[in-house]
Chains A and B, each alone.
Chain A
Amino acid sequence: KAGVTQTPRYLIKTRGQQVTLSCSPISGHRSVSWYQQTPGQGLQFLFEYFSETQRNKGNFPGRFSGRQFSNSRSEMNVSTLELGDSALYLCASSQDRAKGDEQFFGPGTRLTVL
């Protein structure tokens, strides 16, 4: 099976712009979670989507949003970018809760905000 894929792998934006990141989960996985990874804060949970519905949300401002499509692919959007949004954004997929807890991560999208 192919693993979790994320596009693009690298992105450079300027303050005030917006960005959309994409994640394709492992085939058959219906849950997609997003994390922000920074040297100072580690891995922070952003949100989780399951069957096109947001099922869980972390403590991030409303500038961070996401969605999931019927094929389980997910996108996250960050509007009005700030310098502090520079981070590695990771997506992880898993099967339905009832079938297992394991989450598998993609390679991440490295976002740099100038």
Chain B
Amino acid sequence: GENVEQHPSTLSVQEGDSAVIKCTYSDSASNYFPWYKQELGKGPQLIIDIRSNVGEKKDQRIAVTLNKTAKHFSLHITETQPEDSAVYFCAAKSWNQGGKLIFGQGTELSVKP
């Protein structure tokens, strides 16, 4: 079945710097890759996603890239702000497995003012 590995598990950056979180997946049939942000005491919030027919997608300070050949995708946050501090999860969906989302282990991002 699908397995998603996420790195790093913790990331600390200075306000204004960029942050990059990387994920790899195992199932070549996976075709949808969302990223979620989870703040303390809240459920995960979808922040950006990408489908397998696209290599890159951008939304203001957030971008996601996908390399299907290498089976990895990354989240890029530019000009980080203290409110970006949260746990970020990547996920992959494969219709070969009934369409369930398989999540990475999460990255705790801390943005220091």
Residues on A facing B (Cβ under 8 Å) = 4, 33, 35, 42-43, 45, 48, 55-56, 58, 90, 97, 101-108
- Which of A56, A101, A105 is in CB contact (< 8 Å) with B98? A56
Could you tell me how many residues of chain B have their Cβ less than 8 Å away from some Cβ of chain A?
Answer: 25
Which residues of A are found within 8 Å of B46, using beta-carbon distances? 102-105
With both beta carbons as reference points, the residue of chain A lying nearest to B103 in the complex is identified as: A43
Q: In this assembly, does B82 line the interface, its C-beta being within 8 Å of a C-beta of chain A? A: no
Q: In this assembly, does B113 line the interface, its C-beta being within 8 Å of a C-beta of chain A? A: no
Which residues of B are found within 8 Å of A55, using beta-carbon distances? 98-99
Which residues of B are found within 8 Å of A104, using beta-carbon distances? 46
Contact A90 B101 (CB under 8 A): no
- Which of B34, B44, B106 is in CB contact (< 8 Å) with A102? B34
Kindly provide the distance from the CB of A6 to the nearest chain B CB, expressed in whole angstroms. 8
* Bound complex: CA A105 to CA B41 (Å): 13
Contact A42 B99 (CB under 8 A): no
Question: Which of chain B's residues 20-46 have a Cβ closer than 8 Å to chain A?
Answer: 32, 34, 36, 41-46
Residues on B facing A (Cβ under 8 Å) = 32, 34, 36, 41-46, 49, 51, 89, 91, 93, 95, 97-106
Beyond contacts A35-B103, A42-B89, A101-B32: 7 other A-B pairs, Cβ-Cβ < 8 A, are: A33-B101, A43-B103, A45-B101, A56-B98, A58-B100, A103-B46, A103-B101
Given the interface pairs A42-B105, A42-B106, the reply to whether A105 lies near B99 with Cβ below 8 Å is: no
Contact A101 B89 (CB under 8 A): no
* Bound complex: CA A42 to CA B106 (Å): 7
Contact B36 A105 (CB under 8 A): yes
Contact B42 A107 (CB under 8 A): yes
Kindly provide the distance from the CB of A68 to the nearest chain B CB, expressed in whole angstroms. 16
